[in-house]
Amino acid sequence: MLCALWVHAQKIDADLLRIKQRMDSVQHFSAMVTLNLDVPFIQMPTKNAEVNYQHGSGMKFASKDFVMLPKRGLDFSMNELFKHPFITVDRGTITRGGKMLKVINLIPTDGKSDLVMAVLYMDTKARHLVESEINTRKDGSYTLQMQYQPGQTLPQNVEAAFAIERLKIPLNFMGKDTKIDRKKMRSMETKTGKIKMQFRYRDVKLG
């Protein structure tokens, strides 16, 4: 895939390709992940799960508890972004948390792509993707923020923020004195939800 992308090298940001190459070097990892969900109409305690990643097969989760895992935000190797041809547009730099970040727009050139556009914030010095704002056709928009330990390839903290629609509550599931506040419910039709994930890596194998 990288070879194919290099053909369009003049259109794809070199720093992005370097970060992609670095993430692709991860062959395997296992970790314990702590999940904290922050959605206005959901009260959930902190959950823990075990995650195993194998290059080419993606992440597999296991937990004794019931856990909710975000559909987006766990694609550390950026395979979803690189799935279809795209171009990048350099938008300059910004400073966040004392770090100079390079900002690029990633625009797909293939109509098959679910991605509409992504804005990526890269720490080019540390070769890390720090933040991304992703707009998709099917899954709406979401943002990802990643924090890394110095010298680490994989992020330690990942925060995914996304729009979430209000719940449809089956009547036979409601508590006896649960009141339906339609005005409040309408105001809650779409809310922003967040999930914070903290990874504690046990075994990371780089290729």
Partner 1 sequence: MRGLISAEFLKLRRQSKTYYALAAVTIIELLIFITAYYQGSAILDLLLSNLRQSFYFEGTLLNGNLIMYIVLNSLWFNVPLILMIVTSSLVTDEYKDNSVQTVMLQAVKKWQFMLAKYLAAIVFTLLVMAFMMVTTFILAYSLFGNGDLVVYLGTLNFFKAPEAFQRICWAFGSGSIAMVFYSVVSVTLAVLMQESAKTWIVSALFLIITNLLLKAEFLPAQVDAVFFPKLMDTWQQLFNYEVNWHQLGFNNLLLVMYTMAFAALGIWLFQKKDIG
Closest of 121, 119, 112 to residue 134, by C-alpha:
119
185 near partner 1, judged by CB under 8 A: no
C-beta of residue 13 within 8 angstroms of C-beta of residue 81:
no
Closest of 176, 203, 175, 197 to residue 76, by C-alpha:
197
The smaller minimum CB distance to partner 1, of residues 150 and 173, is found at 173
174 near partner 1, judged by CB under 8 A: yes
The identity of residue 58, as a single letter, is G
d(CA 207, CA 205): 7
The smaller minimum CB distance to partner 1, of residues 49 and 126, is found at 49
d(CA 91, CA 15): 13
Stretch of 11-19, 64-72, 82-90, 118-126 contacting partner 1, by CB under 8 A:
64-72
Could you say which DSSP state residue 131 is in?
E
Give the shortest CB-106-to-partner 1 separation in angstroms. 21
Span 76-135, contacts to partner 1 by CB under 8 A: none
170 near partner 1, judged by CB under 8 A: yes
66 near partner 1, judged by CB under 8 A: yes
Rule CB under 8 A: which residues touch partner 1? Answer: 41-45, 49, 61-72, 139, 162, 164-170, 172-179, 193
